[in-house]
Chain A
């Protein structure tokens, strides 16, 4: 099925992002996207401000982590009959105009997951520190090895996911750090789903800090690589099985 603006839900997981979420929502509204904000146990006015900005808000009573918020969003998308979702951060890093590029790429290639990569873009305004870049390189290398697909940005949270992969992720999706990005890539790739990367010019975050320190990043990287090597990533039905069950 062709992906359009109308059958795509933009999911914005947000934890205490009252200072930036309204700008992000206003920008998304300018482009006419259907938007769902998943307030991940926020204790500030994220949910109220998002509602006031015209977004549908799914309010998790406790904090589940990005992966948990995303799975709740995926479930909402599947139950409302959306064909695809686009993950967008609430901190303003992902420009709304780039979403069209993800949709166009998915329609042209038929990919089940299209990832906006920060490292094949020429016009990105985002700078990444040396140590963080090294961690990202290691993860990209590991994801490429695990999936047999060339991945340049395994930790990009700017991505489009379409059915039937979306349906699988609505049932099983990791909550841990890197689970929503790196591990999701590994699970999808090993499940035989088609993954594509396109350049995406991401911006520096408007508010707040990165959710993990360098030490944490290294720890999570080692954990992520271990998960891939030991094949203990979250399980999903393979594309072959899903296709068979539909026939």
Chain B
């Protein structure tokens, strides 16, 4: 039987490699009986997929503006590059 520490390690690794069927089975059994590891696992997965979705949506409707000094500085550099 896996303990919580081993389970958390395997859940993390499941995001980076394909677990063996024995590992998948052992994790499943542990998650079935342990609500804290279930939470942990759900949160880890949610953070990853949520992050990717969110960074995308932030990129799409960003209203960030550069300070005008920075814009002027970059414009100057560009002008000298074009010469």
**Do chains A and B interact in one complex?**
no
Chain B residues with CB under 8 Å of chain A are none
Chain A residues with CB under 8 Å of chain B are none
